[in-house]
Amino acid sequence: MKKTSGYSLAALSALIATGCVVAPTDRALTPEPPVDASPPEQETYAAVYDPAGIEALIRQVPEYPEWEYVYAHIQAINSQAELGPGVPVDATLSPTVDPEMARVTLDAYSKAMGIWSFFGVEEVPAVWTLMSELDYDWWRARVVEVEGEQGDLAVWDAETSTMGHCSLSSQSFCGYGNPNAETGITAQYNVIGSDYRGVPNADTVAHEGVHFYQDVYSQDYYSFMPCWFVEGQANTTLLCRAGLWKGRRTFWGK
Ligand SMILES: [Zn+2]
């Protein structure tokens, strides 16, 4: 859940080819054949979604054992997998949530889950609800509808306008999930503030997408996996996605 932002991406280094010097010669110069002076055709590279290529990349061991190569390997897999259809993600929308903002959010998660479609994830095991900060009463009814007695109506405190770790306002973009070990389904609730415009933070989406992946295999992984592993797996994917490991000496620091 930890929010990360403000990293600077390492600039791409340019390869500079040095010119070669031709030594003088005393051989008779023969005329050179005419050179086609027309400029070479511009090469355009369009990335394509190639599932077989991605599968091969996943099975290929990174070229060198250093972490940078492992990170780069994960980044390559993720960036290609993001081009595909991803994992279908659906949600129930509240009466006041902006449907266009909801669609943008769902699309972002669907694409970010692309990498996990190669690791057995066919659908996200969540009943997802998208709402705005104005939907407190609607949310209460929705929790009962989705979760029955398992639901926790204390998560959203209307007096303090907080929902879990979120401080709610018209600019919020925040949420929480309540996994159910018996059903294997997470009840997921997100608030998209009524004035919120924009795309979800890609780092956050990549991070939360890993938790959806973890949810597929267990709804109570916190009971047997240490938090550093659960959150570390999510953050490693986030770091790899955007090449954020570059220039760092520690996991979080510089
Ligand atoms: Zn997390």
pLDDT digits (tens, 9 = 90+) for 24-66: 444 444 445 455 556 556 666 667 899 999 999 999 999 998 8
Residue 14 has pLDDT above 60, yes or no: no
Please give the structure tokens belonging to residue 91. Answer: 């949600």
Whether residue 35 is contained in a domain is answered as no
DSSP of 76-89, one letter per residue?
HHHHHHTTS-----
Whether residue 196 is contained in a domain is answered as yes
Cα separation, 234 vs 242, whole angstroms: 13
Whether residue 72 is contained in a domain is answered as yes
- Give distance in angstroms: CA of 251 to centre of ligand 1: 15
For 88-143, how does the pLDDT look when each residue is reduced to its tens digit (9 = 90+)? 999 999 999 999 999 999 999 999 999 999 999 999 989 999 999 999 999 999 99
- Show the domain range for 56: 51-241
Whether residue 36 is contained in a domain is answered as no
- Give distance in angstroms: CA of 178 to centre of ligand 1: 13
Q: Which pLDDT score is estimated for 44?
A: 65
Whether residue 222 is contained in a domain is answered as yes
In one letter, which amino acid is 153?
Answer: L
The residue among 109, 94, 106, 107 whose CA lies nearest residue 194 is 94
Beta bridge partners of 185: 180
Model confidence at 10, pLDDT cuts 50, 70, 90, reads very low
Whether residue 23 is contained in a domain is answered as no
Residue 249, class by beta-carbon neighbours within 10 Å (0-12 exposed, 13-18 middle, 19+ buried)? exposed
For residue 186, give the 3-state DSSP assignment: strand
147 and 189 in contact (C-beta within 8 Å)?
Answer: no
Q: Which pLDDT score is estimated for 151?
A: 94
Q: Provide the domain count of the chain.
A: 1
- Give distance in angstroms: CA of 2 to centre of ligand 1: 6
